[in-house]
């Protein structure tokens, strides 16, 4: 680990990895550090050693305004075939638990078992991991939960192949005070993500970096991005566009300015084209607005009955 950046300097100003797009930028780069960091993160959170070998096509189609709260999820496949979807949500929806159940069913059910030599036993174990910031969903003090199908009356598990794992970053105050040597791997990752930009916790973060190679790899990728003036500006602009677009949509909805689909989508298209002209990646614009590239290039809306 001698070549890794194992500490954060006093003058460093790392980007906040809790921001959805920055989280994805760190863990999906085509570099050994990024890939190994993702494998280490997933292994820590599912409590099983796995190696991520591929990033799958991700992001579900946008179908309505509420879904335009952009999600930079990471769908990936492990060496043993297991499927994992990892999401960072800086501002999770109040219906997050239901949403997680819906999307793990999509990921699990999307596996192909067609053919005479394939059966249900060939379905791979599937994980939906949600790292949740700024909201608490479960009434206990535990920051980490694993949900599976089971009979609640008799406490019998279905022994199915889907698991939903949640990490609530709002519950880490007590854990962050523990000695680093007494933290579990998942606790170290959670503390790193939650307190990375907190200068009062800088010593704690640097101690974690010295002891966890996977976290040090993620930190190396993040600091490289943070120190790159152009890349930093692009990511910050991308996130600003995301927040501004959501704010405009909600404000327009509350004030009754958007009456009807044509008026709403026309304003949305104008904003999307401005963002496209300013260099915001088309992938990001598509995820937020739901418009395909033909609409963005054409600049007009065509409706059919």
Q: List residues bridging with 54 in a β-sheet.
A: 77
Question: pLDDT (tens digit, 9 = 90+) per residue, 149-179?
Answer: 999 999 999 999 999 999 999 999 999 999 9
Q: Tell me the residue ranges of DSSP E strands in 106-210.
A: 126-132, 144-147, 150-151, 156-157, 162-168
CA torsion 103-107-113-118 (nearest 10°) is -110
Mean pLDDT within 100-115:
90
On the question of pLDDT at 238 being above 80, the answer is no
The strand ranges marked E within 106-253 are: 126-132, 144-147, 150-151, 156-157, 162-168
Please report which confidence band the pLDDT of residue 186 belongs to, taking 50, 70 and 90 as the band edges: very high
Residue 298, φ and ψ in degrees, nearest 5: -70, -40
Distance CA 40, CA 54 (A): 14
Q: Return d(Cα 238, Cα 295) in angstroms, integer.
A: 20
Residues 22-44: what's their mean pLDDT?
Answer: 94
What is the mean pLDDT of the segment spanning 92-120?
Answer: 88
CB 7 within 8 A of CB 17: no
In angstroms, the CA 260 to CA 91 distance is 28
**Given the DSSP bridges, would you call strands 74-78 and 83-89 parallel, antiparallel or unpaired?**
antiparallel
| Average pLDDT for the chain | 83
Provide the pLDDT for residue 141. Answer: 94
Asked which of 124-138, 189-203, 267-281 is least confident by mean pLDDT, the reply is 267-281
Tell me which range, 55-64, 142-151, 236-245, is most confidently predicted by mean pLDDT. 142-151
Pairing status of strand 150-151 against strand 156-157: antiparallel
CB–CB of 45/34 below 8 Å? no
Q: How many alpha carbons fall within 13 Å on the CB side of residue 276?
A: 22
Kindly report the number of other CB atoms within 10 A of residue 220's CB atom. 21
Secondary-structure breakdown of the chain: helix, strand, coil percentages, each rounded to the nearest 5? 50, 10, 40
Q: Is 96 exposed, middle or buried (0-12, 13-18, 19+ CB in 10 A)?
A: middle
Q: Which residue has the higher pLDDT, 23 or 259?
A: 23
Q: How far apart are CA 170 and CA 141, in angstroms?
A: 10
| Cα–Cα dist 72/18, whole Å | 11
Q: Where do the domains of the chain lie?
A: 20-227, 231-298
**Contact (Cβ atoms closer than 8 angstroms) between residue 40 and residue 215:** yes
């Amino acid at each position: 680990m001698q070549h890794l950046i194992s500490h954060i300097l006093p003058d460093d100003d790392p980007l906040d990895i809790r921001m959805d797009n920055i989280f994805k930028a760190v863990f999906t780069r085509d570099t050994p550090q990024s890939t190994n960091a993702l494998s280490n993160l997933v292994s820590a959170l599912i409590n099983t050693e796995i190696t991520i070998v591929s990033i799958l096509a991700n992001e579900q189609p946008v179908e309505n305004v509420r879904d335009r709260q952009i999600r930079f999820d990471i769908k990936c496949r492990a060496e043993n075939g297991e499927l994992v979807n990892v999401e960072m949500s800086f501002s999770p929806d109040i219906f997050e638990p239901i949403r997680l159940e819906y999307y793990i069913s999509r990921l699990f059910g999307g596996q192909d078992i067609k053919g005479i030599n394939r059966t249900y036993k060939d379905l791979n174990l599937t994980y939906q991991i949600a790292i949740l910031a700024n909201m608490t969903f479960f009434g206990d003090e535990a920051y980490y939960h694993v949900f599976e199908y089971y009979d609640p009356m008799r406490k019998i598990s279905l022994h199915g192949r889907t698991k939903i794992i949640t990490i609530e970053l709002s519950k880490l105050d007590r854990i962050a005070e523990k000695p680093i040597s007494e933290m579990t791997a998942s606790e170290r990752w959670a503390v790193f993500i939650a307190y990375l930009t907190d200068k009062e916790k800088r010593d704690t973060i640097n101690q974690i970096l010295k002891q966890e190679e996977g976290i040090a790899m993620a930190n190396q990728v993040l600091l490289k991005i943070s120190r790159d003036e152009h890349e930093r500006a692009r990511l910050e602009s991308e996130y600003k566009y995301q927040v501004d677009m959501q704010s405009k949509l909600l404000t327009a909805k509350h004030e009754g300015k958007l009456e009807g689909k044509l008026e709403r989508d026309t304003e949305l298209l104008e904003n999307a084209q401005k963002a496209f002209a300013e260099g915001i990646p088309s992938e990001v614009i598509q995820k937020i607005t739901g418009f395909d590239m033909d609409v963005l290039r054409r600049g007009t809306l065509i409706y059919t009955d």
